[in-house]
Structure 1
Amino acid sequence: MDSLSQIALGSAVAVAVVGRRSSVKKAALWGAFAGTLPDLDVFIDYGDALSNMVYHRGFSHSLFYLSLVSPLLALLICKIHKEMALYRHWLVAIALVLLTHPLLDTMTIYGTQLAQPFSNYPFAVGSIFIIDPLYTLPLLIGLIWVLWRGKRALAANTAALVFSCCYLLWGVAAQQHVLQVATQQSQAHENSRILVVPTALNTLLWRILLIDDNAYYEGFYSLLEKNTAISFQRYPLDAALYQRYQLHPDVQTLAAFSQGFYALEQQGEQVIMTDLRMGQQQNYAFSFVVPAQAEQTVVRLPRNLQLSDTLQWVWRTLTGEQSAASQLPHNPTNPDAAPAPDHREPAQYSSH
């Protein structure tokens, strides 16, 4: 999740645990610090753009390592504030703050390596967008209320935490419902793997991605639409290109991190690899130029994200002004490069 959400969650958790026994402001401050701590790994340079993407949410988000840090940070807090009598309470608070950070991140689709150093598997539920106001705003409101009113308003902070947990459960339930609908409607693609993720800032409009050896398909499903038919747009894959680059170490890295939801595309003299999970067609978050030689540094393509266009598209779809099958307007990854050929097939596949 975004930094503001993690700060709000960390503060709310710390206030809920030690706010009645210690200072509410003190608990909120240390909760915010501990909630931010795992994301400081963004300042680590792992050598290239692909490694920085893959190793973010790595060891710093490990449940094992964070469990080791918790007693030390709790001890430091107690020493600074001379509250050793409250060490057990501070330990519970800091442990919960540190551990809920990667667990919340796991609810997004990015990939969080919870099990390091025993496994580098990127756990990803994908039931909530990386920024979701309906998750974050209640936490902020409850936190602001308790900071203003003091211990008398601790119930507001607790209520905000309960609401945020219920919202996460709602996201999982909505995702499973959309997955069931999409699975039933995509029976023509029996060999395809399927991914269901929310679109920007909401859990009402969902993106469905199907992928097999020959193509990937993108469709959208709104929980507010009466028409439940999903229209998939087909994007062919170059099997020969995959065969040629299947042993390239950078391609293998992205394939493992994206759990197979990636695409290779020839653009002029360059081969572009894209993580298909984040963003959507013509507006993906992570695209890289595959180095011609394995020892060369992989380069990330800049993302020309026009957030206002994306939000307007989501809003128009949710309000029924346009169908969920409508695509975002063309938005090339690199505005300075010549437009790449559009490999979409003109016909849409509608599932019924």
Structure 2
Amino acid sequence: MDSVSQLVLGASVSLAAMGRRVPLWQAAAVGAVCGTLPDLDVFIDHGDAIRNMTLHRTESHALLWLTLASPLLAWLVAGIVRRGVPWQQWWLAVWLALITHPLLDLMTVYGTQLGLPLTDHPYAVGSIYIIDPLYTLPLLIGVAVALRRGGASGLRWNRAGLALSTGYLAWSLVIQSVAGWQIKQSLAQQQVPDDKVLVTPTAFNTLVWRTVIIDGERYGEAYWSLLSPARPLKISWHPRYPELFAQLKGDWYAERVAWFSHGFYAMREQAGQITIADLRMGEGENYTFTFGLGTPQSPAAHPERLPSSRPSLGRAFSALGERL
């Protein structure tokens, strides 16, 4: 999720865990910092764009490592704050702020390797967009009112915000299941294979859902709306060019993106080189993570991420209105 959501989630769970044992602003500050810490891995340069994408949300998001680090961080917090509160009472707040970060990231489509070191599988539920105001606003309001009012009343507001945001996550799972069922019904009516289908929300909402269908040498893209659930899917088909992947068989970079995207990728020839795109993030033929791989004769030693065009905010909301 976005940095603001992670910051206020960390602050909220820390407030809920610490209660009035320390000033509320201190509990919120500690939670905000701990909730932000895992994403500091974005400042690590692993040498190329594909490694940077696939090694984000790895060790810093692993539940085991965060759990093992939490007692030390709690001890450091107790030493810095010095309010007579033993580190053991900070432990729960610090641990919750740390582990809720990767658990929230898990709900997006990107991929979070929270099972390290036992498994490096990039888990992704994909039921919420990376930025969704309806998730973040209850947390933000709850924390803000708690800090302003203080006391038991403020803590009730914080708990209410936390409950609403968590309920919204549950809603996203339910509506994702409904959307997936409706989409597969429509695909069956159109005699389109449904063995490899991705269903994920569009930007800033959980009302309009985007689906990607992998069908051999092509991939399809369509949109389903909660406000018109019975409307037949209008699928736009695009070539995947799997023969280009075959030409790069054994290339670590191509196979890494294919693995990380769970098979939702497409190849193209562009500007004299082969490119690979992660189809989960973006739309049409413009994808956030598109990389140049060079050619079979001269593969790229350090693949670069290619620029992608994004629609303006106005166009994005206009498209959302049409799809609704």
TM range (shorter): over 0.9
Structure 1 spans left out of the alignment, 5+ residues:
319-352
Contact 1:291–1:297, Cα closer than 8 Å, also in 2: no
Contact 2:277–2:289, Cα closer than 8 Å, also in 1: yes
| 2:38 paired with 1:38 | yes
Matching residue within 214, 221, 225 for 1:222: 225
Contact 1:194–1:211, Cα closer than 8 Å, also in 2: yes
1:233 corresponds to: 236
1:330 corresponds to: none
Matched residue type, 2:321? W
- State the secondary structure of the residue aligned to 1:93: helix
- Shift of residue 237 of structure 1? 2.6
Matching residue within 241, 251, 254 for 2:254: 251
Matching residue within 259, 280, 284 for 1:281: 284
2:184 corresponds to: 183
| 2:322 paired with 1:310 | no
Provide the C-alpha distance between the structure 1 equivalents of 2:160 and 2:111, rounded to a whole number of angstroms.
Answer: 29
- Shift of residue 98 of structure 1? 0.3
1:145 corresponds to: 145
Matched residue type, 1:310? A
Provide the C-alpha distance between the structure 1 equivalents of 2:29 and 2:260, rounded to a whole number of angstroms.
Answer: 34
Provide the C-alpha distance between the structure 2 equivalents of 1:73 and 1:222, rounded to a whole number of angstroms.
Answer: 44
Provide the C-alpha distance between the structure 1 equivalents of 2:137 and 2:158, rounded to a whole number of angstroms.
Answer: 12
| 2:277 paired with 1:271 | no
| 2:52 paired with 1:77 | no
Q: Count how many residue pairs are aligned between Structure 1 and Structure 2.
A: 318
Map 1:1-352 → 2, pairs under 5 A: 1-83=1-83, 85-151=85-151, 152-187=153-188, 188-190=191-193, 192-225=195-228, 227-292=230-295, 293-294=298-299, 296-308=301-313, 309-318=315-324
- Shift of residue 97 of structure 1? 0.7
Provide the C-alpha distance between the structure 2 equivalents of 1:286 and 1:23, rounded to a whole number of angstroms.
Answer: 43
Matched residue type, 2:168? Y
Provide the C-alpha distance between the structure 1 equivalents of 2:168 and 2:2, rounded to a whole number of angstroms.
Answer: 16
- Shift of residue 312 of structure 1? 2.3
The alignment yields a C-alpha RMSD, in angstroms, of 1.4
- Shift of residue 67 of structure 1? 0.6
1:321 corresponds to: none
Contact 2:13–2:97, Cα closer than 8 Å, also in 1: yes
Which piece of structure 1 moves more, 106-115 or 71-80? 71-80
- Shift of residue 7 of structure 1? 0.3
Structure 2 spans left out of the alignment, 5+ residues:
none
CA deviations 1:279-306 (Å, max 9, x no partner) are 1113311101113344611011012223
Which piece of structure 1 moves more, 202-211 or 217-226? 217-226
- Shift of residue 196 of structure 1? 0.1
Which piece of structure 1 moves more, 72-81 or 289-298? 289-298
Provide the C-alpha distance between the structure 1 equivalents of 2:242 and 2:113, rounded to a whole number of angstroms.
Answer: 30
Call closer, same or farther: CA 1:154–1:227 in 2, change over 3 Å: same
Contact 1:249–1:294, Cα closer than 8 Å, also in 2: no
Provide the C-alpha distance between the structure 1 equivalents of 2:22 and 2:116, rounded to a whole number of angstroms.
Answer: 34
Matched residue type, 1:12? S
Provide the C-alpha distance between the structure 2 equivalents of 1:183 and 1:297, rounded to a whole number of angstroms.
Answer: 39
- Shift of residue 216 of structure 1? 0.5
- Shift of residue 310 of structure 1? 1.7
Which piece of structure 1 moves more, 85-94 or 138-147? 85-94
CA deviations 1:292-349 (Å, max 9, x no partner) are 344611011012223312232113432xxxxxxxxxxxxxxxxxxxxxxxxxxxxxxx
Contact 2:182–2:229, Cα closer than 8 Å, also in 1: no
